Chains A and B, each alone.
Chain A
Amino acid sequence: MAAPKFAFLLLNLISILPLLVSSFSVDRPTDRRILVLLDDLSLKSSHSLFFSSLKSRGFDLDFKLADDPAIAVKRYGQYMYDGLILLSPSTERFGGSLDVEGVLDFVDSGHDLIVAADANASDLIRNIAAECGVDFDEDPSAVVVDHSSYAVSETEGDHTLIAADDFIQSDVILGNKKIEAPVLFKGIGHSLNPANSMVLKALSASPSSYSTNPSSKLSSQPPSLYGTAISLVSVVQARNAARIMISGSLDMFSNRLFRAGVQKSGSLNKYEKSGNEQFITELSKWIFHERGHLKAVNLRHNKVGESEEPSMYRINDDLEFSVEIFEWSGSSWVPHVSKDVQVQFYMMSPYVLKTLSTNGKGLYHTSFKVPDVYGVFQFKVEYQKLGYTSLSLSKQIPVRPFKHNEYERFITTAFPYYGASFSMMAGFFIFSGVYLYNK
């Protein structure tokens, strides 16, 4: 009864599998489809450089108008896309069945998201951002203004086109190559909750920036957002490794700013090309897991001198532990090399904490002695590093005390006692004989 059912299920699965595109999975990291929602189909051409860089990396883009009634990310309980790009800052309501909850569920089931807002961003976009831990300036018409690090242009503007170069210090997120040119940004700023450890400022504003409505006069009150508290572009890595990028500017993705030259005010360096293309491309690589995605496999442990994995250790056993860690490079899994991976031998608190040594080919190993405490221990590898997906492995293993016959049998220091016992026995035997038969 159960077997045919199972077979049937399996058949179903096999037939469905090729049609499905799921989130970034360790097993099938390639083959990805992205839904791009636009306010206006003209964006398709005005932002074509961004899209073509994605396409050239093998992504399959599906463009739709944000209010297209046919929008659906999910069919029969399965997601049809594994990435979502929202370049629709003014949309108040998505077409079709998609809504805020839909977008968040999409993320919570492990899919990636890029959101671009702009001045006058809709509540919809603001809500999505807020659910991800990003708070846009509540004044709907406010934009980020910076009178000291704006991008120099022919006409003296209102200094809302900013040349920002305060990047997040992470090679994993922004790539190995340093971004030389400042990034041109024109849009609204947002703030992050400092207590929120999952959201990171990828691009911060300069200390002299502030968020205000450029057409209105400065009031005596200080602006609600100012200085480095303003984040221009933020990234989020959720606990399930879904990655989100939230930008306050739609323009920074545009061909115009990709190609524009940039000179930061007060600086003599003039760059032929802004940093936008490099910044956005590298960031999107990170967002779509082409970098910084780790997997750990083959967690093994065994007694020194054996190769079988035991079901239980004894206290004071010597054991060997190893695990393999790989990183997704965009096309293949390459060994992850790092000197700071640690393993804990853990029972309510770590009894052993060892840094693993690596052979450079992904294998991390160490050996240590089981502590003199019995209980149910765990091998724990908690590897959380900026930009990388967090690795959290644990494997339970009981540690038993000595068996009754595993203690030392004859202790030298106890020989006097052994002697005493046996002489006593002998003496008693002789005494009994003498007493009983010597009359």
Chain B
Amino acid sequence: MAAQETSQSATFRHAFGNVLSFTVLLLIGVMAFSIRLFSVIKYESVIHEFDPYFNYRVTQFLTKSGVYDFWNWFDDRTWYPLGRVIGGTVYPGLTLTAGTLWRILNSINIPLSVETVCVFTAPVFSAFASWATYLLTKEIKGAGAGLTAAALLAMVPSYISRSVAGSYDNEAVAIFALIFTFYLYIKTLNTGSLFYATLNAIAYFYMVCSWGGYTFIINLIPMHVLLCIVTGRYSPRLYIAYAPLVVLGTLLAALVPVVGFNAVMTSEHFASFLVFIIIHVVALVYYIKGILTPQMFKVAVTLVVSVGMVLCVAVLAVLIALVASSPTKGWSGRSLSLLDPTYASKYIPIIASVSEHQPPTWPSYFMDINVLAFLVPAGIIACFLPLSDASSFAVLYIVTSVYFSGVMVRLMLVLAPAACIMSGIALSEAFDVLTRSIKFHLVGTTQNPQDNARDATKVNQNDVKSEKSEDTVKERPSRKSKKKDKENIEKPSLVSRVEKRLLVLPLETSVMAVFLLVLLGAFYVVHCVWAAAEAYSAPSIVLTSRSHDGLHVFDDFREAYAWLSHNTEVDDKVSKSKRSDSFALKTPTDVSGISFIASTHYPLILFEVLNLAVLGLVQRNKLIGLLAAAILVQVASWWDYGYQTTAMANRTVIVDNNTWNNTHIATVGTAMSSPEKAAWDIFNSLDVKYVLVVFGGLVGYPSDDINKFLWMVRIGGGVFPHIKEPDYLRDGQYRIDSQATPTMLNSLMYKLSYFRFVETDGRGYDRVRNTEIGKKHFKLTHFEEVFTTHHWMVRIYKLKSPKNRIRGKTKRSKSKSGTSTSSKRSTRKKNPWQ
């Protein structure tokens, strides 16, 4: 009778738990979505940063022209004059996702603009990602851990940085795809179902479509498989989880144009094939072991091993020879710099120049994952009690992602889900133990666990987190199924029982610990909300700064792009030195204490400010992009502005943020590093009409082109050896003051940045470098300033057309008519050129 009652109430509680979990998940989704809306509320619904502008433009094209035209799109607006085959060089996942969303919404008569859909894609997918985290963690450690992990992931700053509304980048959907693929892998591993294995391959396909980070999956899963085999955990379930993934996954991956044959040709994928072979060998061995007697088996083993060794050596030799014959040893530069962090800075300046490819600093860990950093070790320990296939995967995931995040800041994003899962497990386990202790004390040892639980519901007063701990507690009694399958979201019962007996903490300690943990969680929430609201929501296209006299908004980028789109199509001959009236020689706002909260690289910027002297400073925004109007009106700027310029000003650019052609970027870098005349020749040969530079010296915006200039020199020098970095450094120091080298002071970048700068305050004080500039009064011979934005952050120059006449050698004699104008003319013409 009593037993029946308990079972009834257990069913009831079970159902109640499900409903509760569902509600909590829903709320987590809502939170994940809404925490990312700060950018829309504080600024406006606008696409952020650089790459998202490109994605947005591609999406526009997709929605206008359809999938096939998108696939075959040859874009003649970027990378002039090379053009870019967009369809074959982008990961189409994000674009297709947003395009499909837009189409669906339109077909059900919700007429949203493409831009709106793009802006909100990332928040929507972060909700999906938190649900996927729930599923994954549930597979690993049960529903309680799952809910905690989902809640943590919904607001982890690292992920927010890449998925605020408007941050329309690959990572936005890729993180969801990553977690979901892992979930399906673990699900297959736990169930051994071929159905999930197929789903897994499809999820992997989606990931391949979305982000180059798919190589992480295709290396991590083989590593885990290998780990399982080595630790003697081989099972048919493992085989089912892995073999279909490799076969189907590789076939599907090869369908993505940008991957294509890379899926079988590059070293990044070799590990998976190697493990594929190994798992077959192991499967065969297990099979043979099953049908042979032990003695026969031993004989067979010696035979096979000796023959196999020979074969292996031969195959290995061929492989090594093949790989060694390719110049990069089969690895792409980016992947190589993962394994050897110094690789890129040594050999590929164009990769090293991107700030998100730099190793992170310690503060950035605290900024990006906050308290999770402290909970992770506890989570790892929890994963070992006991170690299952699934939890060993979680451990492997965290370990590898910690390593990768240490190599590249950008991969912090991959670490974040792992950290959330681990912390979720840790928190959930901790609450589990603590609340049990409390119950134990309150109810007394005599009562059985079910009663414990029931009373605990009343007793337990802890707010947010307690709900989760509660329902883990509630569900424990109805446990018992060795494999964790179905919705029986289980703590390993064996351990919990052991713990139950061993780990009964004193009441006060437990209460205190619960309180402290809740406090910790609360701090995490506070930090996350702050990060979402302040640090990561600024669309770097609009900058703000706070000083004692209020908030300043810097909208210079859009001002410049608008100028370009309105003014550059005009026939060139007409616009004869059309000097804009909005030159505004405004005294700069007091910059002391201005900290720019720009883009998603908040900590990096702080870091940059600190390291200006050392020249750490590379933000993503770097090179020169050149644009063109209908009739060959190109604009040059460093590559990071390329995407925005094409998208916002609709002009052809010479280089943009995509780094597929090093030489082309190097050409622009060389032009910027050269003296005026040489630069003019280079630009003219590229049909450039306008040159755009970003200059922060007036308002103290640190990620301007002068700070990126050394990278231009390096990238340029990598291809054109006459550009030498030491020429730009005085005793190894990068400086623009009077100590700077003549090469530096005569470079185009210096001249374009500081032209007329001295007119602002009379002495040319650069607020980024905190120094007076070296060369203050100079004239431009081959370029003319056509537009400078309000805060001088973007300056646009036009290439002067070649001179109509060539002067003779005779000095202009100062006759009576030699007025000041004529003397000016003669000095300007001192340096005649063809």
Contacts and interface: CB of A to CB of B under 8 A. Distances in A.
Interface of A: 92-93, 99-101, 104, 107-108, 122-124, 126-127, 129-136, 138, 192-193, 195-199, 236, 238-240, 242, 312, 347-348, 374-378, 394, 396, 398-401, 403-404
B685 interface: yes
B804 A135 contact: no
B80 A376 contact: yes
Nearest to B88: A401
Contacts of A192: 808
Given A124-B817, A239-B802, A377 B81 contact: yes
Contacts of B87: 404
Given A127-B815, A133-B808, A394-B632, 13 more contacts: A122-B815, A123-B813, A133-B805, A135-B810, A197-B834, A240-B804, A348-B685, A376-B76, A377-B81, A398-B83, A400-B83, A400-B85, A404-B72
Contacts of B309: none
Contacts of B297: none
B808 A198 contact: no
Given A375-B81, A376-B80, A401-B74, A198 B817 contact: no
B686 interface: yes
B685 A134 contact: no
Given A135-B810, A374-B74, A239 B804 contact: yes
Contacts of B74: 312, 374, 398, 400-401
Given A93-B817, A375-B83, A404-B71, A134 B808 contact: yes
Instruction: State the main secondary structure of chain B at its contact with A.
Output: loop
B808 A193 contact: yes
A158 to B, nearest CB: 26
A376 B805 contact: no
Contact of B805 (A100, A132, A377, A398): A132
B9 to A, nearest CB: 47
Contact of A107 (B686, B805, B821): B805
Given A376-B76, A377-B81, A123 B815 contact: yes
Contact of A100 (B82, B807, B817): B817
Given A348-B686, A401-B74, A404-B71, A133 B806 contact: yes
A11 B348 CA distance: 62
B83 A374 contact: yes
Given A374-B74, A400-B74, A101 B822 contact: yes
Contacts of B85: 374, 400-401
A196 B834 CA distance: 8
A127 B813 contact: yes
B64 to A, nearest CB: 16
Given A101-B822, A133-B807, A377-B81, A396 B817 contact: no
Interface in B785-834: 801-810, 812-813, 815-817, 821-822, 825, 834
15 contacts: A93-B817, A100-B817, A100-B822, A104-B805, A107-B805, A122-B815, A123-B813, A133-B808, A136-B810, A193-B809, A238-B804, A347-B81, A400-B72, A403-B72, A404-B71
Contacts of A134: 808
A134 B685 CA distance: 29
B805 A92 contact: no
B805 A348 contact: no
Contacts of A399: 83
A187 B816 CA distance: 24
Contacts of A93: 816-817
**Closest 8 CB pairs between A and B?**
A400-B74, A398-B76, A123-B815, A403-B72, A376-B81, A135-B808, A130-B808, A135-B810
Contact of A108 (B805, B808, B817): B805
Contact of A131 (B257, B632, B808): B808
Contacts of B257: 404
A198 B810 contact: no
Contacts of A133: 805-808
B83 A376 contact: yes
Kindly name the residue among B71, B74, B80 whose own CB sees the greatest number of chain A CB atoms within 10 A: B74
Contact of B825 (A101, A198, A236, A396): A101
A127 B817 CA distance: 11
A117 to B, nearest CB: 13
Interface in B428-463: none
Given A376-B82, A398-B74, A398-B76, A92 B808 contact: no
Interface in B41-88: 68, 71-72, 74, 76, 80-83, 85, 87
Nearest to A109: B804
Nearest to A104: B805
A396 B808 contact: no
Nearest to A192: B808
Contacts of B810: 126, 130, 135-136, 138
A376 B84 CA distance: 10
Contacts of B631: 396
A147 to B, nearest CB: 27
Contacts of B816: 92-93
A350 B809 CA distance: 35
B821 to A, nearest CB: 7
B805 A130 contact: no
Contacts of B822: 100-101, 127
Nearest to B801: A239
B759 to A, nearest CB: 25
Given A374-B74, A398-B74, A398-B76, A242 B815 contact: no
Contacts of B803: 239
Contact of B809 (A104, A135, A198): A135
Contacts of A240: 804
A124 B815 contact: yes
Given A375-B82, A376-B82, A92 B817 contact: yes
Contact of B806 (A199, A376, A377, A396): A199
Contacts of B802: 239
A209 B207 CA distance: 84
Contacts of A199: 806
Given A242-B804, A403-B72, A99 B817 contact: yes
